[in-house]
A and B are shown apart, each in its own frame.
Chain A
Amino acid sequence: MGSYAWMIALGCILGTLARFIFLNIDYRQYPSYPQGYMIHMTLGFIAAGLGAVAIPALLQKEFAAITFLALAAQQFREVRNMERQTLEKLDEMEIVPRGSTYIEGIAKVFEARNYLAMLVALSATGGALLLSRLFCFGGFLPALGGLLCGLLIFGLIKGAMRGENIGKVAEVRQGKVHFQGPLLMVEDIAIMNVGLKAARERYEKEALGVIIEPKNDNAREYLTNLGQRQALVHDVAVQLGVRKEVDEPEFTPLARRDTKTGRVGLVVIPIEPDIEPLLRAVRNVPVLEGAKRKPLDSPAGRAAAD
């Protein structure tokens, strides 16, 4: 196994590095570093190690080692459970909760990223092995080949794992906030009935409204999902701040739908009352995997679309 040592090391390093790069993207959604960093870097390293030894183990006819991969997959499923449980607990203490659809999405991503580390490590070791054993290249060429293989797989998976965001599937623009009797409205979309006059005055003075118009029937269905809308208001509240205390439910930011057109109206009283950053925050909200529906992929959905 000694001759494989540098290949395994290469896989380990690349896999762990891949996990690290993805951690940087994570923190917006899940700001519990540095402890969270430690947990996920360690798990990423273990995943990379498993991926890196897989092919050398196979070549050494260590078939038992391969079964450990299956065991590892089981362990990483546990990661998803762990993330889900943690986030669900934390969600109870959020002033504007993430909602279970968002949490499920984040948990899934955490699991998937361990597999990413594993696959990058596997391909790097595999690539290096192929060059050095099959083509009998010497020197640094196999190492370079392994590195390129790892990077290629990383790039491919990164592209495949990149989800859409709201800005891509819908037009996002400012909407006028006003009252129709006690009904709070964003343009013609009713949000909620606000009783207290002081609350109405604050809405009239400080609230910002956003209209989100789905570009097609698929996007309309994404925005129908309550979890997707909760994710919208959560992300907005986190990024711009929200003027709401725990005993003021009337200032909860909400996203409500116009059932005729599928447009969504969102209203929030941000601490930073700037419309452009608000629109940008809305556009950057990810389309949640759990909220995705594709009516346009079905014959009935396509026929009904106009």
Chain B
Amino acid sequence: MATEMSDIIIAVVTMDREAVGGDVPIFYARNEEERERIATTLCRITKGMAHDLENGAYVIVRH
């Protein structure tokens, strides 16, 4: 447990290319359905959790 990193942003899934930038992996979705699907898959793979930033972007965070 102690050796795992926690509370870090693993990825961002967004529909708005203008809303996000920086050096985290960013996944662009064409619509809400795709955003949900990508976010769900990423969460399951990374054991992360999706949080809604309410600007069209989800951040996947490992707690």
Q: Do they bind each other?
A: yes
Q: Taking beta carbons and an 8 Å cutoff, which residues of A are in contact with B?
A: 92, 181-182, 193-199, 246-250
Known A196-B58, A199-B50; 17 more pairs at CB < 8 Å: A92-B1, A181-B52, A182-B51, A193-B51, A194-B52, A195-B50, A195-B58, A196-B36, A196-B40, A196-B50, A197-B36, A198-B36, A247-B43, A249-B43, A249-B47, A249-B48, A250-B43
Give the CA-CA distance A92 to B4 in the complex, in Å. Answer: 12
Interface of B is mostly: mixed
- Number of residues of chain B lying within 8 A (CB) of chain A: 18
In the assembled complex, 19 residue pairs joining A and B whose CB atoms fall closer than 8 Å, in A order, are A181-B54, A182-B51, A193-B51, A193-B52, A194-B50, A194-B51, A195-B51, A195-B52, A195-B59, A196-B36, A196-B50, A197-B36, A198-B36, A246-B47, A247-B44, A249-B43, A249-B47, A249-B63, A250-B43
Q: How far is the CB of A77 from chain B (nearest CB, A)?
A: 25
Name which residue of chain A comes closest to B33, CB basis.
A197
Q: Is residue B39 within 8 Å, beta carbon to beta carbon, of the partner chain?
A: yes
- The docked-state distance in angstroms from the alpha carbon of A246 to that of B48 is 10
Q: Given A92-B1, A247-B44, A249-B63, is A182 in contact with B54 using a C-beta cutoff of 8 Å?
A: yes
> A197: which B residues are within 8 A, CB to CB?
36
- Min CB gap A298→B, angstroms: 34
The 9 A-B pairs of least Cβ separation, nearest first, read: A195-B50, A182-B52, A195-B52, A249-B49, A193-B51, A195-B58, A247-B44, A250-B49, A195-B51
Chain A interface mostly: loop
Q: Are A195 and B63 interface neighbours, CB within 8 A?
A: no
In the complex, A246→B62 CA distance in Å?
Answer: 12
| Cβ-defined contact, B43 with A198, below 8 A | no
Which of A195, A247, A250 counts the most B-chain CB atoms under 10 A from its CB? Answer: A195
B47: contacting residue among A181, A196, A247, CB under 8 A: A247
In the complex, what residues of A have CB within 8 A of residue B1's CB?
92
Does A195 contact B48, Cβ atoms closer than 8 Å? Answer: no
Contact with A along B15-57 (1 / 0, CB 8 A): 0000000000000000000001001100111011111101000
Which of A92, A181, A193: most chain B Cβ within 10 A? A193
